[in-house]
Structure 1
Amino acid sequence: MNTVQSPITEADLHALADGQLAEGRVREIEAYLATHPDDARRVAAWRAQNRDLHGLFDGVADEPIPTGLLRAASPVARWTLWRLAASVALVLAGGVLGWGLRGEIAAPPGQAPGFAGAGAGFVQRAAVAHAVFVPDQRRAVEIDGVHEDQLVTWLSKRMGSAMNPPRLQALGYTLEGGRLLPGGAGPVAQFMYRDSAGTRLTLYVSNEMRAATSSGRAEGGSLHGGTAFRFAREGDVNVFYWIDGPFGYALSSFSGRAELERVSAEVYRQIGHSR
C-alpha cells in the first residue's frame, strides 16, 4: 500500500503536472490524488494547459533569434529579447506566469484591489501573446485582415460572442488579422494592427471575466463612465487594459502609455456602442 511520506504542497502538484518529480515521489502524490478528487482535477487541468501551450508555442520557441537582429541590438535590447524568451519558457514549463506585471492605478482606500487579483492572469497572457507573435514576420496572424469576414465568423463561433475588430484607421492603424489563443478557462481572441511605420499593437479579448466584473468596475482611474482602465508594463511590453461586464480587453504594444491610452479610448468607444 502506498503512503504519503511527507506533506503534499502546491509546488508538488505543479511539479507533478510538469513531469519534474522523482518516480518515488510521483507514486506518493498519485496515491494522494486518488483520494483528493479536487486536487486531481487541478493537476489534470494544468497538464491539459501545458499540452495546449506546447502546441501553440513550441514551433515559435524553437526558432533561433536571427543573428543579424542580435548583432544590431544594443546590450540592453539583447537582454530584453532574452528576458522575453525566458518569460515564454516559464509559461511552457508550468503554466505559471512569472512576469509580475505592475499595474499603475491603485484602488481607492476601502475598495477591493480588483484587477490586481482578478484580472492579472488575463493581462499576463495578453503580454506574452504580444511578445511572441508581434516579431513574427511569417505567422503573426492565423487569418489576415483581407479575409476579415472569415476571421470574424470563425472567432465569433469559437468564442460564443460577436467578435468584431474595432476600426482604427482614423488613428493610423490597419487590421493585420487575428488568431485564436488558449485563455485561462477557454479560448480568447487576439487582433493585430499595424501603422504606416510598421509598429504593431494587439487587442486581446476574453469573455471569461464574469467573476472579476464587480471588482474591476470598482477601481479608480477610469477614462469613461464606471469602467476602470489600467496600465501595466513588463520589459518593453506595455499593456492598457479594462474589464467591461464579462469581457476583458488588453491592448498591448511596444509604444508608450500615451499612445495606448489614445487607442484604448477609441476601442472602448466602438465596443461600448456595439455591446
Structure 2
Amino acid sequence: MESTQGLPLEIRLSAYLDGQLPQTEVDEIDAILAEDDDARVVFEKLKLGSEFGARAFDRMLQDPIPLDLVRTIKDVGKSENEAPKSGFAAIPVSAAAPRRPPAFWPKALAASLVIFIAGGAAGYLVSEQQDAAEAPLQIAAARTWLDDIADYHRIYSRQTRHLVEVPASEQEHIAEWLSASTGVTFTPPDLSDKNLTFQGARLLVAGGKPTAQLLYRDAENEIFAICFLKSDPVEGTTALTESMRNDIGLISWQKGNASFVVVGPSADPDLERIAEAVSASI
C-alpha cells in the first residue's frame, strides 16, 4: 500500500474507500472525517459514486459484448502502431511489459473498457446529473440506515477525546435532548452487568432521519453503541435481526414507533446478549 500524503483530499478519500491505505493513514482519514464537515460531504459523494459504478459494472457484464466492438479490439491488438480506428484513445503499453496470448486480448480489453466506462459514468451521473429520473432512486434503494450507522461507528469508535458529543454525566439532558430530536422516548440503559460503561451520546443522521447514538465502553476498551430513530409503528417488538458490515456487527429490531440497533465488534460473543438486554429495557 502506497502513501497518499500530500495528494488532494479527493484522491486520499478514494484510496480510503478502496482499502488501499496503510493503517496510519486510515487513522488519519478517520480523524479528518470525524472533525471536518466538508470532508464528510466529499466522502459521501465518492461513496455514492463508487456504489453506483459497481452496480452499473455488474449490469454491463451481464450483457454480451457487441461483435463490432470485438472486431475493433482485435484490429487494435494486431496493429498497435497504427492510429486507432474507433473513437477510443489508444492505451499505451510499456515495451517491457509481457505480452499476453492474442486470444486473451478481446476479453481483457473489453473488460478494461467496460470498467473505464462504468467508473467514469458513475462519477459523472452521481455528481452532475442527480436530477435524472432513475439513478438517485437506485442509489437510495441500495443503502439502509444500518449502512449509515456502520459508517458512523467505524469512525467514532476510534475516537478518544471526541468519542461523544454530550458526556454520560449529563444523562438527564441526553434523554431529554435525544427524545425531542428523534421523537423516540427512552432512558439510557444501564449495562453495567454486561461490563459496559455508559460514555455519553451523539445526534446523527441515518437514513435521512435524526438518529440517537448512545455509546458504551467495555473493559477491553472496545466501543459499543445503541442507535435508534423514529419509524413506522409496529405491534409489540419484532425479532432481533443480525447483520454484519465487515468487522462491525449489528443487531436490529423494531419496537412501537422506533427502530433500534446495537452495534459492536462482529467477533464479540456477547453482542446478541447485549442486544437482548437493551431490547428489554430501553
Q: Is 1:93 the counterpart of 2:104 in the alignment?
A: no
Deviation at 1:148, TM superposition (A): 1.1
Query: What whole-Å deviation, never above 9, does each CA across 1:229-263 have from its counterpart, x for those lacking one?
Result: 11111221111111223211111111426311010
Alignment partners' CA distance in 1, 2:217 and 2:251: 17
| Residue among 259, 270, 274 paired with 1:263 | 274
Alignment partners' CA distance in 2, 1:238 and 1:89: 25
Q: What is the one-letter code of the residue matched to 2:273? A: R
Aligned to 1:262, the other structure's residue is in SS state helix
Assess if the C-alpha contact under 8 Å between 1:203 and 1:252 holds in 2.
yes
Alignment partners' CA distance in 1, 2:47 and 2:210: 15
Q: What is the one-letter code of the residue matched to 1:165? A: P
| TM-score (normalised: structure 1) | 0.52
Assess if the C-alpha contact under 8 Å between 2:244 and 2:266 holds in 1.
no
Give the aligned partner of residue 10 of structure 2. none
| Residue among 23, 30, 37 paired with 1:70 | 23
Give the aligned partner of residue 87 of structure 2. none
Q: Is 1:168 the counterpart of 2:120 in the alignment?
A: no
Query: What whole-Å deviation, never above 9, does each CA across 1:5-42 have from its counterpart, x for those lacking one?
Result: xxxxxxxxxxxxxxxxxxxxxxxxxxxxxxxxxxxxxx
Give the aligned partner of residue 37 of structure 1. none
Q: Relative to 1, partners in 2 of residues 1:89 and 1:257: Cα closer, same or farther, differing over 3 Å?
A: farther
Q: What is the one-letter code of the residue matched to 2:205? A: P
| Residue among 247, 257, 261 paired with 1:236 | 247
Q: What is the one-letter code of the residue matched to 2:193? A: A
Q: Relative to 1, partners in 2 of residues 1:95 and 1:157: Cα closer, same or farther, differing over 3 Å?
A: farther
* Overall identity of the aligned pairs, in %: 22
Assess if the C-alpha contact under 8 Å between 1:194 and 1:201 holds in 2.
yes
Assess if the C-alpha contact under 8 Å between 2:188 and 2:214 holds in 1.
yes
> 5+ unaligned residues in a row in structure 1: which ranges?
1-60, 101-116, 215-224
Alignment partners' CA distance in 1, 2:266 and 2:254: 22
Deviation at 1:89, TM superposition (A): 8.0
Q: What is the one-letter code of the residue matched to 2:201? A: G
| Residue among 197, 210, 214 paired with 1:187 | 210
Q: Relative to 1, partners in 2 of residues 1:226 and 1:268: Cα closer, same or farther, differing over 3 Å?
A: closer
Alignment partners' CA distance in 2, 1:226 and 1:201: 22
Deviation at 1:208, TM superposition (A): 2.5
Aligned to 1:157, the other structure's residue is in SS state helix
Alignment partners' CA distance in 2, 1:95 and 1:245: 32
Q: Relative to 1, partners in 2 of residues 1:138 and 1:184: Cα closer, same or farther, differing over 3 Å?
A: same
Deviation at 1:94, TM superposition (A): 6.3
Alignment partners' CA distance in 2, 1:118 and 1:228: 23
Superposed, 1:72-151 pairs within 5 Å as 92-93=44-45, 96=48, 98=51, 121-151=144-174
Q: What is the one-letter code of the residue matched to 1:177? A: G
| TM-score (normalised: structure 2) | 0.50
Q: Relative to 1, partners in 2 of residues 1:264 and 1:258: Cα closer, same or farther, differing over 3 Å?
A: same
Q: What is the one-letter code of the residue matched to 1:159? A: T
Tell me the C-alpha RMSD between the 2 structures: 3.7
Assess if the C-alpha contact under 8 Å between 1:231 and 1:257 holds in 2.
no
Give the aligned partner of residue 105 of structure 2. none
Count of aligned residue pairs for this structure pair = 167
Deviation at 1:95, TM superposition (A): 7.3
Higher RCO (C-alpha 8 Å, min separation 6): 1
Superposed, 1:154-233 pairs within 5 Å as 154-210=177-233, 213=234, 227-233=238-244
Alignment partners' CA distance in 1, 2:41 and 2:248: 17
